A and B are shown apart, each in its own frame.
Chain A
Amino acid sequence: MNKAFSKYLNLFQISFKQAWGNKANLSGMLFFLFILIFIYNRLWEVIGIQTGENNLNSTFIWYLLFAEAVILSSPKIERILFEDIRSGTMAYYINKPISFFLMRYVESLGNMTVCYLLIVGFGTIITLVFTGKPPFTLWQYPLIVLFCYISGTLNTLLYAGVGLCGLWLHSIRTLGMAIERLAFIFGGAIFPLTIYPEWFVEIAKWTPFYSIYYLTIKLVYDFSWANLGYVILLNSFWSLLIISFITYAYTKLSKKVNIYGG
Chain B
Amino acid sequence: MEEIIKVEQLTKKFKIQKKTSGFKNFFKSEYKNIIAVDKLSFVIKKGERVAFIGPNGAGKSTTIKMLSSILYPTSGTAEVMGMTPWDNRKKLSYNIGTVFGQRSQLWYNLPVQDSFALLGKIYDIDEIKFKRRLSKLVKLFEIRDLLTHPTCSLSLGQRMRCEIVASLIHNPQVLFLDEPTIGLDVTAKEIIRNLIKKQALEEETTLLLTSHDTDDMEKVCDRVIIINKGKLIFDNTINKLKDSYLSKKYMEVTSESGEKIKTEVDTKETPVKKALEELMKKYHVVDMTVENPPMEEIIKEIYRRE
Contacts from A to B (Cβ < 8 Å): 3, 6-7, 10-11, 14, 18, 89, 91-98, 254-255, 257-262
Contacts and interface: CB of A to CB of B under 8 A. Distances in A.
Interface stretch (B69-77, B153-161, B290-298): B69-77
A18 B107 CA distance: 11
Interface of B: 14, 16, 34, 36, 56-57, 60-62, 65, 68-72, 89-90, 92-94, 96, 98, 100-103, 105, 107, 109-110, 114, 117-118, 121-124, 178-179, 210
Contact of B100 (A7, A92, A254): A92
A11 B102 CA distance: 24
A92 B93 CA distance: 12
Given A14-B118, A97-B90, 18 more contacts: A7-B118, A10-B118, A92-B105, A93-B105, A94-B70, A95-B96, A96-B93, A96-B122, A97-B122, A254-B89, A257-B70, A260-B14, A260-B16, A261-B62, A262-B56, A262-B60, A262-B179, A262-B210
A92 B123 CA distance: 15
B124 A7 contact: yes
- Helix, strand, loop or mixed for chain B's interface? mixed
A257 to B, nearest CB: 7
Nearest to B118: A10
A28 B154 CA distance: 30
Kindly list the 10 A-B residue pairs having the minimum CB-CB distance in the complex, ordered from nearest: A262-B61, A7-B121, A95-B69, A10-B121, A3-B124, A97-B93, A260-B14, A98-B122, A92-B103, A91-B70
A92 B70 contact: yes
A261 B110 contact: no
A95 B124 contact: no
Contacts of B121: 6-7, 10
Nearest to A22: B109
6 contacts: A14-B114, A91-B65, A91-B71, A92-B100, A95-B68, A98-B122
B110 A257 contact: no
Contacts of A95: 68-70, 89, 92-93, 96, 98
Contacts of B57: 261
B74 to A, nearest CB: 11
